[in-house]
Amino acid sequence: MSEGAPSTIRWGIMGPGGMSGGFVRDLAHAPGAVVTAVAGRDPEKTKSFAEKHGILRTHGSAAGLAADPEVDIVYIGTIHPVHKENVLECLAGGKHVLCEKPFTMDADEAREIEAAAAGKGLFVMEAMWTRFLPPIAAVRKWLADGAVGEIKLLKAEFGFDAGWNPEGRLLNKQLGGGALLDAGIYPVSFASFVFGAQPSRIQSTVEIGETGVDERFSLLFDYEGGAAASLHASIRLGMNNDAWIYGTKGRIHIPGFLWTRRAELHIDGQEPVIAEDNRDFSGHAYQAIEAMDCIRSSRTASDIMPLNETVEIMGTLDAIRAQWGLEHGSF
């Protein structure tokens, strides 16, 4: 910890919704974390959230959180189209930021935030919680050690049936709906994690639904050197949500990879190596711990989920949507 860095980190919460509720509950498992304020556009919903989670201070906007002297870092759990606005307001007020995925609506917005964060010298990270789970940390080490040899293929998917609600967030273009920005970002980001690069070629198929959003898609990523990733996601179709990494010496299986409690290393001719996590909470605390460690050590970016990689991933999402001719409306 750098000299003078606080052991206690004070969190503000932007957006009193379900994602924020889960995050706040998990902060009980992040040593030194305390929630001091919450903000939202709906005063009654914000007040109810504060009372439920024992939060003393409420605000009506991200600007209110940014002006609060009792807040060090803001977790942003609002809908996709307002992420950029919320992050920039918090940075302008001198607050560090942990912003839910997708980080922004496109790469241009992400680059704008990157520049603002650099100008202020503040920590900003996308809340890609999967990367910080203990089984995924084990996978990271296996990959770094070359345990399965040269990686040739990744298969990953995340799909669920959200039902039919054309006015709801998932199926509404103006609210940033669609499979790619919601479910699909998980396998796309996981591919970036596995290969450490964005694809050199992208092939895709998509099903555009009645509301004009992508309800299901399949991607084939090609990488320099001949490796590939087969990725699938849906918001209208249930999937098994596993990931498989295949190498020249073996394979890695990650059941329910985005929230996993288990990873399996299978080396040809050897007994499997199992990495398990017996946590009694959902797992969002691990990304909060990383954010707080970065702040305490005066780092403005995480090595595990660096901001420049987030910008690159948003560029990949832009390229995919360009193939589909898909644009989102204004919020």
Give the chain's length. 331
Residue recorded with tokens 């918090």 = 90
Q: What is the pTM of this model?
A: 0.95
pLDDT reported for residue 258: 96
Q: For the chain, give every residue range classified as CATH 3.30.360.10.
A: 134-276+314-324
| Closest C-alpha among 7, 67, 80, 2 to residue 39 | 67
In 3D space, the residue among 316, 310, 255, 324 whose CA is nearest the CA of residue 102 turns out to be 310
In this structure, the strands spanning 73-76 and 9-14 are parallel
Amino acid in position 266:
H
Delimiting residues of CATH 3.40.50.720 domain(s) in the chain: 9-128
Tokens of 156: 């990953």
Q: How far is CA 229 from the centre of its chain?
A: 19
Contact between 172 and 211 (Cβ < 8 Å)? yes
Triad 316, 86, 48: Cα angle to 5°: 120
Compute the distance between CA of residue 248 and CA of residue 192 in angstroms, rounded to an integer. 19
pLDDT at res. 201: 98
**Per-residue pLDDT for the chain (331 aa), expressed as one digit of tens each?**
444 456 999 999 999 999 999 999 999 999 999 999 999 999 999 999 999 999 999 999 999 999 999 999 999 999 999 999 999 999 999 999 999 999 999 999 999 999 999 999 999 999 999 999 999 999 999 999 999 999 999 999 999 999 999 999 999 999 999 999 999 999 999 999 999 999 999 999 999 999 999 999 999 999 999 999 999 999 999 999 999 999 999 999 999 999 999 999 999 889 999 999 999 999 999 999 999 999 999 999 999 999 999 999 999 999 999 999 998 755 5
Quickly list DSSP for 31-89. TTEEEEEEE-S-HHHHHHHHHHHT--EEESSHHHHHT-TT-SEEEE-S-GGGHHHHHHH
pLDDT number for residue 1: 40
Which CATH architecture describes the domain 9-128? Answer: 3-Layer(aba) Sandwich (3.40)
Residue-wise DSSP of 232-299:
EEESBS-----EEEEESSEEEEETTGGG-SEEEEEETTS--EEEE---SS-STHHHHHHHHHHHHTT-
Of 77, 17, 99, which is closest to residue 52 (Cα–Cα)? 17
Phi and psi at 45, nearest 5°, equal -65, -40
User: Strand order in 151-159's β-sheet?
Assistant: 201-208, 214-222, 228-234, 151-159, 243-247, 250-254, 262-267, 273-276
3-class DSSP state of 93:
coil
Q: Which residue do the tokens 């589909």 mark?
A: 324
For domain 134-276+314-324, say whether CATH 3.30.360.10 is its number. Answer: yes
**Helix (H) or strand (E) run with residue 29 in it:** none
